[in-house]
Amino acid sequence: MPELQRLRADHAPALLAFERENRTYFAKYVPDRGDAYFTEFDVRHASLLAEQAAGTCHFHVLVDGEGAVVGRVNLVDVTDGEAELGYRIAESAAGRGLATSAVRQVCGLAGSEYGLRALRAATDADNAGSRAVLVRAGFVVVGEVDADGQGRTEVRYRRDTAAG
């Protein structure tokens, strides 16, 4: 079973490989990060670590026994005891319960380690897998919005960190 680890500088090569290998897969569900993300990855990674050190974000990776990143779970925009949760699981690791397990672990850390009271999350209404992960991790639907003005519906969720 992959291990959840707080993002570190030495994760950069494996994280970049994860993002490259899964770029097309992720683009099915979320907007593509664009070429600049990959060409400027080292600068971006250093920026994430600085945000984490400042406490405005908390980044995590799921690392398998061979050191490969197979997922990531992030808490971003930390303000007033709340944060936005986001996650990605490699296509090769999808459907094995890794997302649910990792999201639950990060929800626990959010309350016990990071002092957060609540988390928000959002996913495309058509992404049944992601919606199921959030529900299994204790999130509840708080609304739906037109995500892009072109008919794509986004479902918004919330979870108290003291929940299950």
Burial of 31 from C-beta contacts in 10 A (0-12 / 13-18 / 19+) = exposed
Q: Which domain holds residue 94?
A: 3-160
* Most confident range, picked from 23-37, 45-59, 119-133: 45-59
Distance CA 27, CA 138 (A): 26
Please report, rounded to a whole number, the percentage of residues in the chain having pLDDT higher than 70.
98
CA 94 to chain centroid, in Å, comes to 14
Question: With helix as H, strand as E and coil as C, how does 71-103 read?
Answer: EEEEEEEEECCEEEEEEEECHHHCCCCHHHHHH
pLDDT at residue 135, rounded to an integer = 97
Count of domains for the chain: 1
> The pTM is what?
0.92
Beta strands in 11-147 (DSSP E): 58-63, 69-79, 82-89, 118-124, 140-146
Please report, rounded to a whole number, the percentage of residues in the chain having pLDDT higher than 90.
82
Q: Please check the confidence at residue 52 and state whether its pLDDT lies above 70.
A: yes
Q: Please check the confidence at residue 164 and state whether its pLDDT lies above 70.
A: no
Nearest residue to 137 via CA among 109, 146, 154, 43: 109
Q: Which domain CATH number covers 72?
A: 3.40.630.30
pLDDT at residue 40, rounded to an integer = 95
What average pLDDT does range 11-33 have in this prediction?
A: 92
When pLDDT is cut at 50, 70 and 90, the band that residue 113 belongs to is: very high
The length of the chain in residues reads: 164
When pLDDT is cut at 50, 70 and 90, the band that residue 163 belongs to is: low
pLDDT at residue 152, rounded to an integer = 77
Distance CA 37, CA 138 (A): 32
What average pLDDT does range 8-20 have in this prediction?
A: 97
